[in-house]
Chains A and B, each alone.
Chain A
Amino acid sequence: MTASTSALLTASGLHKTYGSTPALAGADFVIHPGEVVAVMGPSGSGKSTLLHCLAGIVPPDSGTVHYRGKELSALSDARRSALRRADFGFVFQFGQLVPELTCTENVALPLRLVGVGRKEAESRATRWLERLEIDDVRHHRPGQMSGGQGQRVAIARALVGAPSVIFADEPTGALDSLNGERVMGLLTDAARETRAAVVLVTHESRVAAYSDREVIVRDGRARDMAGAV
């Protein structure tokens, strides 16, 4: 697991401070294509900040993030946005679906963002909704669905653009265990099938059990547990 040549996304020495609170203090991270890595740690340990830095949403104060050999902080904000549109997918705990759009439209959103036409985008979105067994709610709006359905819509949306990396921040945080299990199963199966890497931030070990290995974030540092035992 040390072969950095095959690594998809690498971070080293990340530092990030919000105000006077340090969120990251020298965190390292590696993920390979098709790998599911759980990022665990107590609340406030900097898990989400690590995810934000890895995805190029937040630039770190210092340290580097390389994606396919490109240094993210060297890219302009617009280029990073373009990268997120084309290569990354996102699932958050809640509040991520646009409440006015129907499910299909929500799922089609990433495709529309990269310029796919509305018809084509929505038909691809429908295929993903079918795969995730929620095509019966495709004309519903987020407010008319259960939390589990909503998260599955979010997963469909994260997958629809065939991303190389999916960033999932507590994707089951608002779900009961059975729904959480389904969501995780669907997410990891789909990711493995498409060889997408998944960065899975969670504090639940049952969710982390869907990963290939886990990284523990504590006091702003990340510890890769792969070689620890």
Chain B
Amino acid sequence: MTGATSAPAGPLDGPSAPEAAPEAAPEAHWLRRWVADLAMGARFALGGGREGWTRTVLTSAGVGLGVAVLLLATSVPHMLGARESRDQARENHGATETEKSDRSALYTYTDTEYRGSDVRGRTLQPEGSDPPVPPGLSELPGPGEMAVSPALKELLDSADGELLRERLPGRITATIADEGLLDPVELTYYAGSDQLTHGGAVFRVDKFAEVSEPAPIPALLLLLIIVICVVLLLPVAAFVGAAVRFGGDRRDRRLAALRLVGADSRMTKRVAAGEAATGSLLGLAVGAAIFLPLRQLLGEVNLWGIGTFPADVRPSAGLVVLIAFGVPVGAVLVSLLALRGVIIEPLGVVRNAGVRRRRLWWRLLPLVAGLALLVPLLDGLETGQTSVETYQIAAGVTLVLIGVNALLPWLVESAARRLRGGGLSVQLAVRRLQLDSGTASRAVSGITVAVAGAVALQMLFSAVVDDQQRHTGQSPERAEMLVTVPATAQLSEPEVTAGLAETRGVKQVFGQTTGYAVRADQNPDDGAVDSVTVADCATLRELAKMGSCENGDVFVTERSPQEEPESVTGAKPGAEVNLAMPDYSRPEGKQQREPVLWKVPEDARTVKGRTDPMGVASEGILATPAALDVSRMPGASVDVYVRTDDGVADAKEFVRNTAAAVGPTATAISLKATSTTAQFRAVERGLYAGATGILLLIGASMVVSTLEQLRERKRLLSVLVAFGTRRSTLAWSVLWQTALPVLVGLALAAVAGVGLGTVLLRMSALPFAVDWGNLAGVTVLGGLLVVLVAVVSMPALWRLMRPDGLRTE
């Protein structure tokens, strides 16, 4: 057997050796024999002529794609971790008190939004010679200066950024380095100022990286992430499994030739294992070769405002080791498993698959086991909960999806067995499936898992999104935007309102001054707080239902039984209230203000409060400007609801620009009837991107197996054409043959997906609902894939149908 490794000649030269060798040292050298057999497999993979070579290329390309996806997936934890640590390093949420010193600075958030993109903004004002500098900067920008991220700089320099430039007029003196950015596409800036005064939203900092423990990922989100990982990675595994089997038929015939020259069946298995291992090892190399440039490419990608630094895309070492060992081992196991149904005889290959009918019962086992893991968790997940039985859920979902996968071949087989009738092309397709449905099922199984998972996820998503929407309750039809100016800006409501009313694209404005009060006889720190709103009658009507209203009137809102007892509230006619609430932004001990006393007029009318456009119920004291002078309300902020003109493009950007001009602390927000948190949005987008990629991967493997099958039938196709068979008949038969398993797979996926979705919904105590539109969308996507595969296979089919096939023998 020693000759096998050294002989450089053709594949059939080596195996004659084993017959000669065994007597020499059969036991002492079993390891050497193993190594030699594996090496021979490797040689087949690398040098087995064009056929062996093609097979190796296909396998390694398939495995490589899978490995690249796995490497990418295992990089996600580090990607998120690095992002988060950079995020923490640059923030200071002002949770701790800081004394004014040489090393302190005033700090406020000036985040804004520009044409749907979030822009993170911070304004800083040093209070001494040694102020804190956030990561990515060498010094703070001076007053009127800005340091911006590269992406923001690009935007501001472009024509697209003109309107934003008006809002951020500072001179750009520095670019924020990578360590101060979440990702290369992030829009962020630091502005210098000398206008900030301490208090309100302006707080004092003397360092960064001052954040409380990051909010743990909510249980629901965690559930989603677990399911997404399972749903996206399982098809990749299925794909790698299919890639390892590419060209199996030819390999079997080659092994038969090996047996003819004296190899025993165990030896052929070892040779097959060597071949599979070689293909998958090459696949690992290909995967790395794909991953490395892909990583660089990710730095250029801006997917819905989220990007990545190539340096962040770093798979964790443990998982890399797992992939490096797991993929070849898995590949070998899959090939050996595939050989189980095949008897390789010296004179040919006997396939006993197809004769044996598939049994149902063991195929149901994983499904049952998965459900057994998930069912005890029903109703067990609170929305606010932060820890979940991660492994139990992941295992349960995985088992259910694997169970669906196991069920598919059985279903395709029984569907094909039951099908009768139809035209010739259908008959050809059905008969083909009846004889060998395994190949077809394997190609489709990835789709089934991906679609079942996607359906379940979508159900969970829409439920979660609905859940979020119920908490929103904003009414954009009453006002699209809300501009808020805190008291520290020292601006009166009419000034702000007038400025906004003149802004381009604004139809209507409702301005109000809002402060708080406690009853004069109570301690401001722990008394019952009532809101005090001062606005003209037009605005007040938005806040409460009232009959007549004249400047000088005062109203109090009706109380609902759940609220504080009437005895403690100041919101009633004749009550005396203290308008000077403590200023909690000041250090402890300096928060109390001088009391400002005001008596609610005896003739104040009681009215029924309305919800304001923000969705908050109005309550407390509502006063017209003539009844209460707003200058007596320390700490009151100005809120202006803005109605914009839909016909004016960028109306909201003009409003934001006006608000920004008011001062760094003025904020302008858009009201939305629905709101999903950014986290959920990002996860959902990731899912769609992943699912699309997976479907394309599966499409690729289906094309390969279809082409392979066609090539196998080259002679038959030529004979059929010689008979005068219409090419279209054969083309249709290919389409049916591809479509039938996919249809069965999609139907199964829809049922399984809705089932799994229901379990997940019950688990998170969300109401059952199926978004049939989405379900149809996913199914249509699968159908498109069939068409795509058929269309891509057509040129090859046409070529194979030429009469040349008759000549080959």
- What chain A residues lie within 8 Å of B725 (beta carbons)? 81, 85, 113
- What chain A residues lie within 8 Å of B724 (beta carbons)? 80-86, 88, 110, 113
Size category, B interface: 20 to 34
Known: A98-B431, A101-B428. A48 touches B807 (CB 8 A): yes
A99 lies within 8 A of B435 (CB): yes
- What chain B residues lie within 8 Å of A90 (beta carbons)? 719, 722-723
> Complex Cα distance A32/B435, Å?
42
B721 lies within 8 A of A81 (CB): yes
B358 contacts A by Cβ under 8 Å: no
Minimum CB–CB distance from B502 to chain A (whole Å) comes to 75
Determine which residue in A55, A94, A113 has the highest number of CB atoms from chain B within 10 A of its CB, and name it.
A113
B722 lies within 8 A of A57 (CB): yes
B726 contacts A by Cβ under 8 Å: yes
- What chain B residues lie within 8 Å of A109 (beta carbons)? 424, 723
B720 contacts A by Cβ under 8 Å: yes
A214 contacts B by Cβ under 8 Å: no
Minimum CB–CB distance from A154 to chain B (whole Å) comes to 10
> Complex Cα distance A82/B723, Å?
9
A98 lies within 8 A of B721 (CB): no
- What chain B residues lie within 8 Å of A28 (beta carbons)? none
Known: A83-B724, A95-B716, A110-B723. A100 touches B431 (CB 8 A): yes
Minimum CB–CB distance from A71 to chain B (whole Å) comes to 18
A105 lies within 8 A of B427 (CB): yes
A74 contacts B by Cβ under 8 Å: no
> Complex Cα distance A18/B802, Å?
13
A195 contacts B by Cβ under 8 Å: no
Residue of B431, B716, B721, B807 touching A105 (CB-CB under 8 A) = B431
Minimum CB–CB distance from B729 to chain A (whole Å) comes to 8
- What chain A residues lie within 8 Å of B723 (beta carbons)? 84-85, 90, 109-110, 113
B432 contacts A by Cβ under 8 Å: yes
- What chain A residues lie within 8 Å of B809 (beta carbons)? 93-95
B434 contacts A by Cβ under 8 Å: yes
B722 lies within 8 A of A100 (CB): no
Residue of B424, B431, B716, B726 touching A96 (CB-CB under 8 A) = B716
- Binary CB contact string for chain B from 429 to 441 against chain A (1 if under 8 A, 0 otherwise): 0011011000000
B715 contacts A by Cβ under 8 Å: yes
Known: A52-B803, A95-B715, A96-B716. A57 touches B431 (CB 8 A): no
Minimum CB–CB distance from B548 to chain A (whole Å) comes to 87
A55 lies within 8 A of B424 (CB): no
B431 lies within 8 A of A92 (CB): no
- What chain A residues lie within 8 Å of B80 (beta carbons)? none
> Complex Cα distance A55/B424, Å?
23
A58 contacts B by Cβ under 8 Å: yes
A141 contacts B by Cβ under 8 Å: yes
- What chain A residues lie within 8 Å of B427 (beta carbons)? 101, 105, 112, 118
Output the nearest chain B residue to A92 by Cβ-Cβ distance: B719
Minimum CB–CB distance from B710 to chain A (whole Å) comes to 14
Q: Binding site of B, secondary structure by majority: helix, strand, loop or mixed? A: helix
B806 contacts A by Cβ under 8 Å: yes
A84 lies within 8 A of B722 (CB): yes
Output the nearest chain A residue to B350 by Cβ-Cβ distance: A143
- What chain B residues lie within 8 Å of A110 (beta carbons)? 723-724
- Binary CB contact string for chain B from 662 to 693 against chain A (1 if under 8 A, 0 otherwise): 00000000000000000000000000000000
Output the nearest chain B residue to A78 by Cβ-Cβ distance: B726
- What chain B residues lie within 8 Å of A52 (beta carbons)? 722, 803, 806
> Complex Cα distance A135/B806, Å?
28
A98 lies within 8 A of B428 (CB): yes
> Complex Cα distance A191/B306, Å?
76
- Binary CB contact string for chain A from 52 to 92 against chain B (1 if under 8 A, 0 otherwise): 10010110000000000000000000101111111010101
Output the nearest chain A residue to B803 by Cβ-Cβ distance: A57
- What chain A residues lie within 8 Å of B807 (beta carbons)? 18, 48-49
Minimum CB–CB distance from B91 to chain A (whole Å) comes to 66
> Complex Cα distance A140/B725, Å?
23
B719 lies within 8 A of A95 (CB): yes
> Complex Cα distance A96/B809, Å?
13
Residue of B434, B720, B729 touching A98 (CB-CB under 8 A) = B720
> Complex Cα distance A176/B655, Å?
94
Residue of A82, A88, A100 touching B434 (CB-CB under 8 A) = A100
Q: Which of A95-152 contact B (CB under 8 A)?
A: 95-96, 98-101, 105, 109-110, 112-113, 118, 141
B716 lies within 8 A of A55 (CB): no
Minimum CB–CB distance from A128 to chain B (whole Å) comes to 16
Output the nearest chain A residue to B432 by Cβ-Cβ distance: A100
B722 lies within 8 A of A55 (CB): yes
- What chain B residues lie within 8 Å of A48 (beta carbons)? 806-807
Known: A48-B807, A93-B809, A95-B715. A100 touches B726 (CB 8 A): no
Minimum CB–CB distance from B693 to chain A (whole Å) comes to 34
B719 lies within 8 A of A101 (CB): no
Minimum CB–CB distance from A167 to chain B (whole Å) comes to 8
Minimum CB–CB distance from B432 to chain A (whole Å) comes to 5
- What chain B residues lie within 8 Å of A101 (beta carbons)? 427-428, 431
- What chain B residues lie within 8 Å of A80 (beta carbons)? 724
Minimum CB–CB distance from B731 to chain A (whole Å) comes to 14
> Complex Cα distance A181/B724, Å?
28
Minimum CB–CB distance from A82 to chain B (whole Å) comes to 6
> Complex Cα distance A99/B428, Å?
10
Minimum CB–CB distance from A109 to chain B (whole Å) comes to 7
B806 lies within 8 A of A57 (CB): yes
Residue of B432, B715, B721, B729 touching A57 (CB-CB under 8 A) = B721
Q: Which of B460-500 contact A (CB under 8 A)?
A: none
Q: Which of A34-49 contact B (CB under 8 A)?
A: 48-49
- What chain A residues lie within 8 Å of B729 (beta carbons)? 113
- What chain B residues lie within 8 Å of A18 (beta carbons)? 807
> Complex Cα distance A110/B716, Å?
14
- What chain B residues lie within 8 Å of A49 (beta carbons)? 807
A100 lies within 8 A of B803 (CB): no
Minimum CB–CB distance from B445 to chain A (whole Å) comes to 22
A100 lies within 8 A of B428 (CB): yes
Known: A98-B720, A113-B723. A92 touches B806 (CB 8 A): yes
- What chain A residues lie within 8 Å of B434 (beta carbons)? 100
Minimum CB–CB distance from B708 to chain A (whole Å) comes to 16
* Interface contacts beyond A83-B724, A84-B724: sample of 12 additional A-B pairs, CB < 8 Å, sorted by A: A48-B807, A55-B722, A57-B721, A81-B721, A88-B724, A90-B719, A93-B809, A96-B716, A98-B431, A101-B428, A101-B431, A169-B806
Give 14 pairs: A residue, B residue, CB < 8 Å, sorted on A. Answer: A52-B803, A57-B803, A81-B721, A84-B722, A84-B724, A86-B724, A92-B719, A95-B809, A96-B716, A96-B719, A99-B435, A100-B428, A100-B435, A110-B724
8 residue pairs, one from A and one from B, having the closest CB atoms: A85-B724, A84-B724, A100-B431, A81-B724, A96-B719, A57-B803, A100-B435, A100-B432
